[in-house]
Amino acid sequence: MTPRPKLVPTGVAAAELGIDRVTLARWWRAGLVEPEFVTAGGHARWDMEKLRRSLRERAQREED
């Protein structure tokens, strides 16, 4: 069985990335990143491994 990823709220994810939570929320609204899960109340939960991978891949595409 594959372990489930630890999902963190937007503020925690942003802090781990060294950015403001508003920036991460703006990227989400713009479609640049997608949370792993959105609660019934509309709060995003992020898988940090997937989020970092997504940002790395986006940066690579922009460099090419």
The whole-angstrom separation of Cα 40 and Cα 57 is: 29
The whole-angstrom separation of Cα 60 and Cα 13 is: 21
pLDDT of residue 6: 92
What pLDDT, in 10s, does the model give residues 12-63?
Answer: 999 999 999 999 999 999 999 999 999 999 999 999 999 999 999 999 998 8
pTM: 0.86
Domains of the chain: 7-63 (1.10.1660.10)
